[in-house]
């Protein structure tokens, strides 16, 4: 059954008055504001299934931008389609965990049942089939997005059923369960995805009293909130581990007409899914934490940036925001406090891992391509629209609300050394009990493996691909900022896995996700991936090990943002901890990798592999 709303208006590439009028109406709904470009493009795509050249002209005219600027945004994000798509797009998750869990057979079943390959649309226009990196469901792989719905633990049989149902006109929602539409938004989310909470700790997943942290906040002045958060020792849970209290102090101390609080719910690091669980289980606690932050730094505007892969959580978050406005917990004079005005808008991402980097996230919120910003200035002094901006991870905000309720000492007493409180670990891969474990900092990897049934592990990747891969001899190392830091991901691999296959996969991930702004990251990672492939094929020689190290060092030193400075980590940590994996693949004869090195063809290859169409980046090549 075709969607009548998309059939009413012709879906044309060229100028069309009816389409132009519909797009003008969409833009008007967003105040013709170029900073709302992400919302506008999402709506245009939802209406017409793709963003045609004519649509871009209409959007440009309405928002006062050039067509080139609109295309620059539309072409940056993987979920915006620049060619016609089917009524429903299936995006199978291409993460390595999904591959190991059987995704190749599931994908083949989709292809066979739909009669198309990846990147194509069925002739009848019903379904497009694509693949996408980690969608945050490694604990229930193989998984896929079907429109905005997610399907987990797929089998080839289920894939065939889903494909046939979609071809027969079913809506994605109908594939989840009967009566989906009758469920509350919250139930819609939990019916699709298991939260797999294996261990609830004392802070975030323990029973949480309603608004206790926010009420306590209202009883003290903003300076005392800053003191409490700083004294708790809380460090950011998104990966970098910066002191939350200190970050807030910088923002509060910067003179400005307005300040902004942004929640980073982009959660794109492969193997990480703890924010997904917090968004589902603790959405009120998250918004409470953001509101505490607003009170502390004097912010009036909030943005919750939700990754496009979590679109199925949007109704839940919208409902929570509405509920809080109705209860006086958001909006004007929060809890009756004159002058405490703070509200939050939900900003949907559109399939770009780099948007988790805070500068890129801010760019995306501003309606721009998700490119990191040059630092300094740092967001705390000049962030969103040039205003002082606090960006924190979902888990960090949830912690804040609990700290305000229970006090800094309570939180500081948990954990160890410079790592206070608890942490949510997303455990996946070759273990019997994948899921979420809330533990105080300081447990060893071996202890976590025992809890999760991963005793057969031969390698564990702590912190996702930008983290560290360790072997059995290092399982007694500790999960802390000072030893093995992680934003949450702990990925378990047993002895049957090929380390070089894993490394090559993660390098291909970074190649795909590089925003393309700087040459070392855009091109260097392609070379690294190719060099790893050479080891896998048994074609490398001793000099290639030096080559891997040298090129990695160059990329780390010269890249502008954290993606480039961490992208060689899968190689560096396996060279360090699994040297035999490389030396065993070295062939006796010297190879000519560098002798045959041709910069232009390598750059062309990089461009092709990175799928980046932006003409903005092309300038770099000739400069």
DSSP H helix total and E strand total for the chain: 27, 17
Interaction partner, residue 491 (ligand SF4, ligand FMN, none; CB < 5-8 Å by kind): none
**Of positions 86, 133, 236, 471, contacts ligand FMN by CB under 6 A:** 236
**Of positions 118, 165, 170, 240, contacts ligand FMN by CB under 6 A:** 240
Chain-centroid distance, C-alpha 540: 34
CA-to-CA separations, 227 to 246, 430, 439, in angstroms, rounded: 9, 43, 25
Least CB distance from residue 265 to ligand FMN, whole Å?
A: 7
Interaction partner, residue 370 (ligand FMN, ligand SF4, none; CB < 5-8 Å by kind): none
Residue pointed to by tokens 């909006």: 331
264 in contact with ligand FMN (CB under 6 A): yes
Which is closer to ligand SF4, CB of 411 or CB of 517? 517
371 in contact with ligand FMN (CB under 6 A): no
136 in contact with ligand FMN (CB under 6 A): no
Residue 85: strand, helix, or coil: coil
Residue 493: strand, helix, or coil: strand
Which is closer to ligand SF4, CB of 166 or CB of 507? 507
Interaction partner, residue 514 (ligand SF4, ligand FMN, none; CB < 5-8 Å by kind): ligand SF4
Nearby residues of 43 by Cβ (< 8 Å), 6 or more positions away: 26, 29, 30
- Rounded Cα–Cα distance for residues 568 and 547 (Å): 12
DSSP string, 494-557: ETTS-HHHHHHHHHHHHHHH--S-SHHHHHHHHHHHHHHHHHHTT-B-HHHHHHHHHHHHHHHH
Which is closer to ligand FMN, CB of 150 or CB of 286? 286
Least CB distance from residue 563 to ligand FMN, whole Å?
A: 4
391 in contact with ligand FMN (CB under 6 A): yes
Range in contact with ligand FMN (rule: CB under 6 A) among 12-20, 134-142, 208-216, 265-273: 265-273
Least CB distance from residue 96 to ligand FMN, whole Å?
A: 18
Which is closer to ligand FMN, CB of 85 or CB of 276? 276
516 in contact with ligand FMN (CB under 6 A): no
Range in contact with ligand FMN (rule: CB under 6 A) among 162-170, 312-320, 390-398, 607-615: 390-398
369 in contact with ligand FMN (CB under 6 A): no
268 in contact with ligand FMN (CB under 6 A): yes
308 in contact with ligand FMN (CB under 6 A): no
Cβ(98)–Cβ(131) below 8 Å: no
Which is closer to ligand SF4, CB of 160 or CB of 530? 530
- Rounded Cα–Cα distance for residues 590 and 581 (Å): 18
Least CB distance from residue 45 to ligand FMN, whole Å?
A: 23
Q: What is the DSSP letter of 378?
A: P
**Of positions 429, 464, 562, 568, contacts ligand FMN by CB under 6 A:** 562
Least CB distance from residue 516 to ligand FMN, whole Å?
A: 13
Question: On the CB side of 383, how many CA atoms lie within 13 Å of its CA?
Answer: 31
Range in contact with ligand FMN (rule: CB under 6 A) among 37-45, 131-139, 267-275, 329-337: 267-275
Q: Which of 261, 237, 293 is nearest to 420 (CA)?
A: 237
- Rounded Cα–Cα distance for residues 230 and 236 (Å): 12
Cβ(54)–Cβ(16) below 8 Å: yes
Cβ(245)–Cβ(234) below 8 Å: yes
Q: Count other C-beta atoms under 10 Å from residue 497's C-beta.
A: 17
Least CB distance from residue 254 to ligand SF4, whole Å?
A: 25
Interaction partner, residue 396 (ligand SF4, ligand FMN, none; CB < 5-8 Å by kind): ligand FMN
| Footprint (CB under 6 A) of ligand FMN, residues 241-260 | 242
Nearby residues of 325 by Cβ (< 8 Å), 6 or more positions away: 331, 343
Which is closer to ligand SF4, CB of 481 or CB of 517? 517
Cβ(269)–Cβ(563) below 8 Å: no
Which is closer to ligand FMN, CB of 98 or CB of 267? 267
The residue at minimum Cβ distance from ligand SF4 is 564
533 in contact with ligand FMN (CB under 6 A): no
- Rounded Cα–Cα distance for residues 452 and 446 (Å): 10
Two structure tokens written together for 237? 């849970």
Least CB distance from residue 303 to ligand FMN, whole Å?
A: 12
**Of positions 193, 252, 511, 561, contacts ligand FMN by CB under 6 A:** 561
Which is closer to ligand SF4, CB of 295 or CB of 522? 522
563 in contact with ligand FMN (CB under 6 A): yes
Which is closer to ligand SF4, CB of 157 or CB of 557? 557
Which is closer to ligand FMN, CB of 211 or CB of 266? 266
**Of positions 232, 396, 426, 428, contacts ligand FMN by CB under 6 A:** 396
Interaction partner, residue 518 (ligand SF4, ligand FMN, none; CB < 5-8 Å by kind): ligand SF4
Which is closer to ligand SF4, CB of 303 or CB of 515? 515
Which is closer to ligand SF4, CB of 188 or CB of 522? 522
List residues near ligand SF4 by CB under 6 A: 354, 372, 514-518, 521-522, 559-561, 563-564
- Rounded Cα–Cα distance for residues 448 and 428 (Å): 11
Residue 15: strand, helix, or coil: coil
Residue pointed to by tokens 């072997």: 471
DSSP string, 412-462: HTSEETTEESEEEEEEEESSSS-EEEEEETT-BHHHHHHHHT-TTEEEEEE
Least CB distance from residue 277 to ligand FMN, whole Å?
A: 14
Nearby residues of 193 by Cβ (< 8 Å), 6 or more positions away: 137, 140, 150, 152, 276, 280, 312
Residue pointed to by tokens 């606690």: 285
Nearby residues of 117 by Cβ (< 8 Å), 6 or more positions away: 111, 129
Two structure tokens written together for 234? 């809380």
448 in contact with ligand FMN (CB under 6 A): no
309 in contact with ligand FMN (CB under 6 A): no
The residue ranges that bind ligand FMN (CB under 6 A) are 236-240, 242, 264, 266-269, 354, 356-358, 391-393, 396, 561-563
């Amino acid at each position: 059954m075709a969607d009548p709303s998309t059939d009413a208006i012709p879906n044309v590439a060229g100028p069309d008055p009816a389409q132009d009028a519909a797009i003008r109406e969409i833009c008007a709904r967003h105040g013709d504001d170029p900073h709302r470009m992400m919302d506008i493009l999402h709506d245009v795509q939802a209406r017409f299934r793709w963003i045609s050249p004519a649509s871009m002209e209409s959007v440009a005219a309405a928002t006062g931008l050039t067509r080139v600027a609109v295309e620059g945004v539309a072409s940056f994000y993987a979920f915006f389609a620049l060619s016609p798509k089917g009524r429903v797009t299936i995006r199978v998750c291409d993460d390595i965990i999904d591959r190991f869990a059987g995704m190749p057979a599931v994908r083949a079943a989709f292809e066979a049942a739909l009669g198309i390959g990846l990147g194509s649309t069925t002739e009848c226009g019903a379904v497009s089939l694509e693949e996408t990196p980690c969608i945050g469901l490694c604990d229930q792989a193989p998984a896929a997005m079907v429109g905005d719905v997610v399907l987990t633990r797929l089998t080839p049989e289920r894939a065939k059923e889903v494909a046939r149902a979609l071809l027969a006109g079913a809506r994605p929602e109908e594939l989840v369960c009967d009566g989906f539409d009758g469920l509350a938004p919250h139930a819609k989310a939990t019916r699709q995805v298991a939260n797999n909470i294996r261990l609830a700790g004392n802070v975030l997943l323990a029973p949480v009293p309603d608004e206790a942290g926010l009420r306590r906040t209202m009883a003290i002045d903003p300076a005392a909130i800053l003191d409490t958060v700083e004294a708790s020792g809380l460090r950011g849970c998104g990966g970098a581990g910066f002191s939350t209290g200190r970050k807030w102090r910088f923002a509060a101390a910067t003179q400005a007409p307005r300040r902004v609080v942004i929640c980073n719910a982009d959660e794109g690091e492969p193997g990480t899914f703890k924010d997904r669980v917090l968004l589902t289980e603790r959405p009120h606690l998250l918004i409470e934490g953001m509101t505490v932050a607003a009170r502390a730094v004097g912010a009036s505007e909030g943005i919750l940036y939700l990754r496009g892969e979590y679109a199925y959580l949007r109704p839940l978050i919208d409902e929570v925001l509405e509920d809080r406005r109705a209860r006086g917990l958001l909006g004007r004079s929060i809890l009756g406090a004159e002058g405490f005005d703070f509200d939050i808008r939900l900003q949907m991402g559109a399939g770009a891992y780099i948007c988790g980097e805070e500068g890129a996230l801010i760019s995306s919120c501003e309606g721009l391509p998700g490119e990191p910003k040059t630092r300094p200035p740092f967001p705390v002094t000049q962030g969103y629209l040039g205003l002082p901006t606090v960006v924190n991870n979902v888990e960090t905000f949830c912690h804040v609300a609990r700290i305000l309720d229970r006090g800094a000492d309570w939180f500081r007493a948990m954990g160890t050394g410079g790592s206070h409180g608890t942490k949510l670990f997303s455990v996946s891969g070759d273990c019997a009990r994948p899921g979420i474990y809330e533990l105080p900092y300081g447990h060893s990897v071996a202890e976590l493996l025992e809890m999760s049934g991963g005793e057969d592990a031969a390698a564990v990747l702590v912190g996702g691909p930008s983290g560290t891969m360790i072997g059995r001899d290092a399982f007694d190392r500790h999960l802390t900022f000072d030893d093995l830091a992680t934003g949450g991901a702990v990925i378990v691999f047993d002895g049957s896995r090929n380390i070089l296959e894993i490394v090559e996969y993660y390098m291909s991930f970074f190649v795909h996700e590089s925003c393309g702004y700087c040459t070392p990251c855009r091109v260097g990672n392609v070379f690294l991936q190719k060099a790893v492939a050479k080891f896998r094929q048994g074609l490398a020689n001793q000099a290639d090990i030096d080559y891997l190290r040298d090129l990695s060092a160059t990329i780390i030193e010269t890249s502008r943002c954290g993606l480039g400075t961490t992208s060689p980590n899968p190689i560096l940590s396996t060279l360090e901890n699994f040297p035999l994996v490389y030396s065993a693949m070295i062939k006796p004869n010297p190879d000519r990798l560098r002798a045959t090195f041709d910069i232009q063809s390598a750059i062309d290859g990089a461009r092709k592999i990175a799928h980046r169409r932006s003409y903005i980046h092309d300038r770099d090549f000739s400069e």
